[in-house]
Amino acid sequence: MEERLQKILSRAGIASRRAAERVLAEGRITVNGHTVTEVGTKADVERDDVRVDGVRVRPPQAPVYLMLNKPKGVVTTRHDPEGRPTVMGLVPAVAGLFPVGRLDVTTEGLLLLTNDGAFAERVSHPRYEVPRVYLAKVRNVPEPETIERLRRGVTVDGERLAADHVRLVESDKNAWVEVTLHEGKHHEVRRLLEAVGHPVSKLRRVSIGALSVRGLEPGEFRALTPQEVQALLKPGSHRRAPERSRVAARPRRPAHARRPGHSKGPGQAPRRAAGHGERPGPSGRSGRSDQSGRSDRSDRSDQSGRSDRSGPRKRTHRGRPQR
């Protein structure tokens, strides 16, 4: 079946469709020995000899989707010229497999790998608004005004940077801040927080869309389920309602006091027993009043002979104990 060359390269895991357009324009693709530069040219990878930089493009294998908890000190690349360990050494060898996006060498957390170029573009391109959530340990404790400034955005080296959502997770001498972005600008979280006076000492990506790194130790990986893949590809499924502009100040907590739902270490992903974005409910006490706001004393009307509150109240001594 004939397909556009951009789609062929994307499905083979060679390049995203946008990157394939650049490869075409540079004259690096040949079809049956002829150089092709026109966007929209079609070919049948099963029948035609399609090559990129002289290397033949093979029909893609079955798509593979992996999620990895990248440890600190591992490089997010397929090949490192300096010989440092890469994320490819932590996952099985699959033809065409590559990391989706990038985490710098000092950042740990959730990283996706696939051989499906179309999937990679859908997850990583800002126009699809797939949220990425990071936990950052910063120097000192940001004030509510600083949190609001991160949401409004700051200009760093002529580039406008802004977070979609920001909240203070823990505050002691230093703080843990949760930052949500949908773009993948270079070192965006670190540059944002440093620009407002709170340099980052530790950084961890805890989720992408509905995927959470929870349950994976550093260096461990697992395959995505078909439902997880479809959730990432579903249009508009990642958009969240805008936050309120008002930022409530959070009281400082002693080091031994943990917020409900958190794991034992501040660097771990937050646990939400009540679902994403919900606060844990009260500890089992439902109160003694019913939905109408009346207390349990209203039940005594059967014994005292009083009528319902909606009607006039009549005094009667019937049934009252004698003193």
Which residues belong to the active site? 104
Say how far apart CA 252 and CA 172 lie, in whole Å: 6
Residue identified by tokens 């407002």 is 196
**Alpha helices, DSSP H only, in 29-180?**
117-124, 144-152
The two structure tokens encoding residue 176: 């843990």
Q: Terminal CA-to-CA distance of the chain, rounded, Å?
A: 98
The two structure tokens encoding residue 293: 């706001």
Q: Burial-class residue 281 by CB neighbours within 10 Å (0-12, 13-18, 19+).
A: exposed
Say how far apart CA 143 and CA 198 lie, in whole Å: 11
In whole angstroms, what separates CA 226 from the centre of its chain?
18
With beta carbons less than 8 A apart as the criterion, state whether 247 and 150 touch.
no
In whole angstroms, what separates CA 221 from the centre of its chain?
17
Say how far apart CA 59 and CA 49 lie, in whole Å: 11
The two structure tokens encoding residue 250: 């959070």
By C-alpha distance, which of 137, 138, 171, 143 is closest to 255? Answer: 171
